[in-house]
Amino acid sequence: MFSKLFPSNEHSIERVIRVVAGLGVLSLTVVGPQSMWGLLGLIPLATGALGSCPLYTIFGISTCSMNQAKAS
């Protein structure tokens, strides 16, 4: 059920980039402008941690390789 709702559609390098970018944007809530807009960093952080992007699923996009998709 989880794999139908959140199919693996992100490459491992993209996942790392999303997590790092999410943490960077999230850090803006405590460092720098200290704005609540930094909470938007939760979106790339969550999609990178899950390995599934809802927009990729809607549009039928996948950046992960075929071997990696079958393993998940």
* HSE-up of residue 25 (Cα within 13 Å, Cβ side): 16
Read off the pTM.
0.83
pLDDT above 90 (res 2):
no
Tokens representing 47 are 């999609």
Residue extents of the structural domains in the chain:
2-71
Greatest mean pLDDT range, 33-37, 45-49, 68-72: 45-49
Confidence of residue 59 (pLDDT cuts 50, 70, 90): very high
Mean of per-residue pLDDT scores for the chain: 89
Are 40 and 69 a contacting pair, CB within 8 Å? no
Report the percentage of the chain scoring pLDDT > 70: 90
Compute the distance between CA of residue 43 and CA of residue 6 in angstroms, rounded to an integer.
14
Compute the distance between CA of residue 15 and CA of residue 52 in angstroms, rounded to an integer.
9
* Model confidence pLDDT, tens digit, residues 30-42: 998 999 999 999 9
Tokens representing 65 are 């390789």
